[in-house]
Amino acid sequence: MSSIKIAIVGVGNCASSLLQGIEYYKNRDGKEIIGLMHWQIGGYKPGDIEVVAAFDIDKRKVGKDVNRAIFERPNCTLVFCPDMPKTGIKVRMGQILDGISEHMQDYGDDYRFIPSQEKELGQKEVVKILKTSGADMLVNYLPVGSEKATRFYAKCALEAGVAFINNIPVFIASDPEWAEKFKAKNIPIIGDDIKAQVGATITHRVLTDLFKKRGVKLERTYQLNTGGNTDFLNMLNRSRLASKKVSKTEAVQAVAASRLDKQNIHIGPSDYVPWQNDNKVCFIRMEGKLFGDVPMNLELRLSVEDSPNSAGVAIDSIRCCKLALDRGIGGVLYSPAAYFSKHPPKQFTDEEAYTMTEEFIQGKRKN
């Protein structure tokens, strides 16, 4: 099989886990595949993914080999594959735009972004890099709230003719206008806002779906999350959270028996705890009524390393996107988007989305 060539924007914790994972699984034979949903997708193994371009704005990463940059601060995720070979791919200076929240300047250097003084690349320069690198797709790992920056890179992907995987809650794939642009150019897109393997949102969705199937009326629920990475620090600025709250809330509302009133559902990042680093702790409470209108409640605490949890999904999303490219399919990939993203254009239960994605992989479903 040929390699899957990806470009990455945002060399943060999620990119670190993804790149470590590619190397980690490269020399395994598929008999012991802990942590993967699929060993092969259309013949592509995790080790077939290759980074050919990378963009960031932090001075500690720009100019460094991408496999060295992933271990620079403020990255703080677990290092599970420390022996990363040099790739020869240098991290290039991207566009800052709205990628940095002003309040982060009040925190220490180990926790915040420090912008490089290098010249920011313009659209023509980014497009040229995407084309000359031979990238098949651009994977977006920008900070939450990077609305302008995400649209900038989506435009670059369209102009360069490369697929786009939008892992953050800026609505591109789920925006009909943007979706039509990718369809018109027959370029695949998956998004928006990546799910985790076993994270807060998918756990909340599965439990909500369980309530529905077991005839329990869900009356009130919350999901509170704390973490210590730059994502949680960034989200202390509540003005950057609008799309994130919509994405996470809608993911749960979409599988409920009936939509809850706004005052009865609260989902979103709650606080930044620096010493947690990339550990994310989630608290879920669900209140409802079961047989005979008898009240019940459920409380759950989930603790996960945030970025590897995301990478376990990204590694499949990338390979599904490559399948679409190989098959000449463009536009929104509805099945993978529903399974891998919190805010896809079309919502399905996770069970339905799983079946649809398996059918897509097998070639039984176009998108």
Question: Among candidates 50, 339, 45, which has minimal Cα distance to 194?
Answer: 339
Q: Name every residue whose Cβ is closer than 8 Å to that of residue 281 and which is 6 or more positions away in sequence.
A: 225, 226, 227, 301, 302, 303
Residues 89 and 14 in one domain: yes
pLDDT at 1 over 80: no
Six token digits for residue 350: 């996770």
Residue 349's alpha-carbon distances to 147, 253, 298, 322, 353, in angstroms, are: 27, 11, 21, 24, 6
Burial class (CB in 10 A: 0-12, 13-18, 19+), 171: buried
Residues 353 and 338 in one domain: yes
Split at pLDDT 50, 70, 90, the class of 30 is: confident
Domain-embedded: residue 367: no
Residues 228 and 264 in one domain: yes
Query: What is the model's pLDDT at position 142?
Result: 98
Domain of 156: which CATH number? 3.40.50.720
The helices-and-strands tally (H runs, E runs) of the chain is 11, 11
In angstroms, the CA 64 to CA 72 distance is 10
Residues 336 and 299 in one domain: no
Domain-embedded: residue 91: yes
Q: State the total domains in the chain.
A: 2
Residue range 54-66, pLDDT digits in tens: 999 999 999 999 9
What domain range includes position 214? 200-306
Give the pTM. 0.97
Residue range 287-340, pLDDT digits in tens: 999 999 999 999 999 999 999 999 999 999 999 999 999 999 999 999 999 999
How many CB atoms lie under 10 A from the CB of residue 137? 26
Residues 136 and 243 in one domain: no
Residues 22 and 92 in one domain: yes
Residues 210 and 176 in one domain: no
